[in-house]
Amino acid sequence: MPEGPSLVILREKIEEFAGRTVLEASGLREIDYDRITGHKLLDVRTWGKHLLLCFSGFTVRVHLMMFGSYRINERKATNPALRLTFANSELNFYSCNIKILDGDADSIYDWSADVMNDAWDAKAAKAKLKQMPEAMVCDALLDQNIFSGVGNIIKSEALYRAKVHPESLVGKIPTARLSKLIEEARDYTLQFLRDKKKGVLAKNWEAYTKKICKRCDLPIIKDYTGKGKRRSFFCTNCQKLYT
DNA sequence: AGTCATGTTGACGA
DNA sequence: CTCGTCAACATGAC
């Protein structure tokens, strides 16, 4: 379920809960739910794949990890990791990592690292990449401190669109090509959001899960790349390997 | 039924 | 200390 755009969709669905007071907080995790109970939800934000429920002086971070799900004014059969009960409404988060962070979200998060955020700063991303020349670019794209919100689908799509092989070393990629990749990461992430809303996400994949390269008709390679050994889909003919 | 997957952290041993 | 590997969490599609 969760790459950055999916979290934006979640945020948009529950934004209307901002301003309401939590009558009761409960769930399966080992956190202090009582700290939330009785407080007014001030804002709903996201930072990459993090959903941030903002209260005065603290922030509840919800991370859906790989299998997380949620229900709004509905319940699944299983117990939630977090349930927030409001007057006549409730939010349920299942199989999520839940953490209460001290302080306001603005003091914790660097919004310019979030590919989904208006404050996204491509130059800052490039500067961070320059600091890790020996890293494989497939790993760098999944680094949430650089490309917060980018996940494994966006990784393969951005690399394919920028014509860069996933196992390329960051420091060996020509600077113009690196800028192109950063731009594609941002642009495809925004397309992901539009496509998902329209229900055409998978239809517009050009590399992820594909078998044949639409550009050259040669096979798309599926391999587990980088330190993370995460699956990558790429065309060795169209995507240049910089080493 | 077994395998795999849009994610991340922490333990452990070499 | 650091690196790599594995385990853990947990759900649903095929």
CB A229 within 8 A of CB A178: no
The span from the CA of A89 to the CA of A111, in Å, is 30
Asked whether the beta carbons of A99 and A31 are under 8 A apart, the reply is yes
A181 band by pLDDT with thresholds 50, 70 and 90? very high
Quick count: other Cβ atoms within 10 Å of Cβ A41? 20
Phi/psi of residue A138, nearest 5 degrees:
-65, -35
The percentage of residues in chain A with a pLDDT greater than 70, rounded to a whole number, is 100
**Does the pLDDT value for residue A124 go beyond 80?**
yes
- Mean pLDDT, residues A81-87: 98
Taking only the tens place, the pLDDT of each residue in A85-105 is 999 999 999 999 999 999 999
Mean pLDDT of chain A: 96
Extract the tokens encoding A185. 């990461």
Q: How does pLDDT run across A133-179, given as a tens digit for each residue?
A: 999 999 999 999 999 999 999 999 999 999 999 999 999 999 999 99
Higher pLDDT, residue A75 or A2: A75
Q: Tell me, in Å, how far CA of A229 is from C1' of B1?
A: 26
> Is residue A1 over pLDDT 80?
no
Instruction: Tell me the CA–C1' distance in angstroms for A96 and B6.
Output: 15
- Say if residues A114 and A47 touch (Cβ distance below 8 Å): yes
Query: What angle is formed at CA A30 by the lines to CA A142 and CA A87, rounded to 5 degrees?
Result: 95
What's residue A36's pLDDT?
97
**Two tokens at A112?**
């310019």
- CA A57/CA A50 separation, integer angstroms: 18
Residues with CB under 7 A from strand C: A 28, 65-67, 69, 76, 78, 94-95, 227
- Is A144's CB less than 7 Å from nucleic acid strand B? yes
Can you tell me the mean pLDDT for A41-67? Answer: 97
DSSP state of A79: P
Using the CA of A67, give the nucleotide whose C1' is nearest. Answer: C11
Closest to A3 in 3D by CA, of A60, A62, A65: A65
Beta bridge partners of A240: A164
Helix, strand, or coil (residue A7): helix
Q: Reply yes or no on whether the pLDDT at A13 is more than 90.
A: yes
Non-local CB neighbours of A32 within 8 Å, separated by 6+ positions: A100
What distance in Å separates the CA atoms of residue A43 and residue A27, rounded to the nearest whole number? 21
CA of A89 to C1' of C5 (A): 45
pLDDT-derived band at A2, boundaries 50, 70, 90: confident
A142 is near strand B: CB distance < 7 Å: yes
Q: What angle do CA A230, A162, A183 make, to 5 degrees?
A: 100
Task: Tell me the average pLDDT across A120-130.
Answer: 97
Per-residue tokens: A15: 């934004």
Query: How many Å does it take to go from CA A67 to C1' B1?
Result: 21
